[in-house]
Amino acid sequence: MSIQISDRAAALKPSASIAAKKMVSELQAAGHRIIDFTIGEPDIATPSYIIDGALRAMRGGDTHYTASAGTYTLRAAIADSLVRGKRIPCRAENVAVGCGAKQLIFEAFASTLNAGDEVIIPAPYWVSYPDIASLHGGRPVIVTCGEDVDFKLTAAALEAAVTPKTRWFVLNSPNNPTGAVYSAQELSELGEVLRRNPHVWVMTDEIYEYLCYEGSRAPSLIEVAPFLFQRALIINGMSKAYAMTGWRVGYAAGPKELIDVIVKLIGQSTTCASSISQAAAVAALTGDQSCVAAAADMYCARRDRMVEILSDAPGLKTLPPAGAFYLYISVAELIGRRTPGGKEITTDLDVSLYFLEWAKVAVLDGSAYGLSPYLRVSFAASMEAVEEGGEAIVDACRALFEADMPKAVKARGAVNDRE
């Protein structure tokens, strides 16, 4: 007798990025050499001073449960960073620590959504926002933000999307997958829309804030419009800025009434984040911050090199992102072409599979992020991988155009080559 699966779980799609990583790992385990541009995590090691903080905690016996909200020391350090860095009136009681930022988004929607509540999500979006909202009975309201608006939601588009049923507006800047960064002026305009709609709460996902290539960090909506703090939830964590993805430490900051409910749910699910990881997070936030700027400089150099290489690829439109570590590349000119093997390319998913087969390069299709035909290409990889994988993509694109070239033109080209 098979187990009965709930309708909610059956409707939930697997995370596209995690599924891609699984596929790449399986291919690599089978002996294939794949250059992986699907990864959404730093390829560098956690800085040694952070590891030292974890070691001190372990050797000092700090290996037990913590409060479900997180240790007071960490929550105070997070609050202090928000007060000093963004002038946001935050105290330890306004902070919940979780097993990564994703858990806090999950618990926030679980805490607040009832059936039919609407969640405004600009597209392209991080793959999990709509699915987590739907899992908790919410209705994702997807607002497409194309290249014509630099992949960013305008105030007019936000105003048009708001209804009496709107519960949340989700803003991710710098953005995954496009790297778009909202300016302070753009945030102020969004804030004025929210001022006129006091029933709408805002979730600001700021996990990439320090991976910003036009300043030391991206501005925060709550920093620009501080009146929103009483109906906002700031989502962040240690994963991207401090290369701590495996430590699983994220945090949410917002009104105490919401934080208390999130903490109650954490107490009934994971109990708390790892005490050792929390000690490492304290070390990260209170220690030397030069590693953060150094990492941003490194990713900027990789971004520039990848854009330079891919500018030679026929059929691709590549623009340098302002933040995060992804390119969101238009492949519209590749749709309708045929591979050297004769298969017609009809979607961006087809393009991604072609690159995997022909170039041995793994990327993610834009359909997973709500806007096609695009590819998300991560440059959170070594410079050697950026160069080798980028050149392989260029060769694959050229092969597409050669495969589509009429035979008479090919023959004429061959004659010219002999001459």
Asked if residue 174 has a cis previous peptide bond (ω within 30° of 0), the answer is yes
| 225 plus 142 within the same structural domain | yes
CA distance linking residue 267 with residue 262, whole number of Å = 9
State how far Cα 343 lies from the chain centre.
32
pTM: 0.92
Where is the domain boundary, 286, 307, 329? 286
| 132 plus 209 within the same structural domain | yes
Instruction: Enter the tokens of residue 160.
Output: 């048009």
Contacts of 193 (CB under 8 A, 6+ apart): 155, 158, 159, 162
| 269 plus 138 within the same structural domain | yes
Q: What is the pLDDT of residue 416?
A: 42
- Nearest-10 Cα torsion for 209, 257, 133, 120: -60
Residue 197: Cβ within 10 Å count: 14
Where is the domain boundary, 286, 320, 352? 286
Residues of the chain with pLDDT under 50: 407-419
For residue 146, the domain's CATH number is 3.40.640.10
| 324 plus 238 within the same structural domain | no
Where is the domain boundary, 234, 259, 286? 286
| 273 plus 306 within the same structural domain | no
Asked if residue 124 has a cis previous peptide bond (ω within 30° of 0), the answer is yes
| 67 plus 170 within the same structural domain | yes
Structural domain count of the chain: 2
Q: What is the pLDDT of residue 415?
A: 36
DSSP per position, 354-375: HIIIII-EE-EEGGGGT-SSEE
Contacts of 162 (CB under 8 A, 6+ apart): 120, 169, 193, 197, 200
pLDDT tens-digit profile of 368-400?
999 999 999 999 999 999 999 999 999 999 999
Structural domain containing residue 77: 49-286
Q: Is residue 414 part of a domain?
A: no
Q: What is the pLDDT of residue 414?
A: 39
For residue 23, the domain's CATH number is 3.90.1150.10
| 58 plus 200 within the same structural domain | yes
| 151 plus 251 within the same structural domain | yes
With b for 16 or more beta-carbon neighbours within 10 A and e for fewer, the 319-343 pattern comes to eebbbbbbbbbbbeebbebebeeee
| 114 plus 234 within the same structural domain | yes
| 184 plus 54 within the same structural domain | yes
Q: What is the pLDDT of residue 212?
A: 96
Q: Is residue 1 part of a domain?
A: no
Q: Is residue 2 part of a domain?
A: no
Residue 296: Cβ within 10 Å count: 20
Cα–Cα distances (Å) from 344 to 91, 338, 341, 397, 398, in that order, read 57, 4, 9, 14, 15
